[in-house]
Amino acid sequence: MTDKNSDLTIHAAHELLKAKKISSVELTKDYLSRIKAVDPQVRAIVTVTEEHALQQAKKPTSVSLPAIPIL
């Protein structure tokens, strides 16, 4: 798995989502991958709810406000 989109700004992520160049699920998976890679060293996140995050990413959203993962 990759985390190629985890360093995008909110604006850049929004533009890619709006243009359907990436999906909310893809973006969420990239963030989850990044969390798995980095959190063991930084210990910033107490609980990662991967299943819930992916379920939320699959839900339909407004065209003007696609789902952007947040911590």
pLDDT digits (tens, 9 = 90+) for 14-64: 899 889 999 989 999 999 999 999 999 999 999 999 999 899 888 876 655
* 27, 13 contact by CB (below 8 A): yes
Is the separation of the CB atoms in 27 and 15 below 8 Å?
Answer: no
| Residue that has been written with the tokens 């989850």 in this structure | 32
More confident: 42 or 65: 42
Helix (H) / strand (E) element for 55: namely: helix 50-58
| Predicted pLDDT of residue 67 | 61
pTM: 0.78
- pLDDT of 21: 94
Alpha carbon distance 13, 23 (integer Å): 10
CA dist., res. 51 & res. 16, Å (int): 23
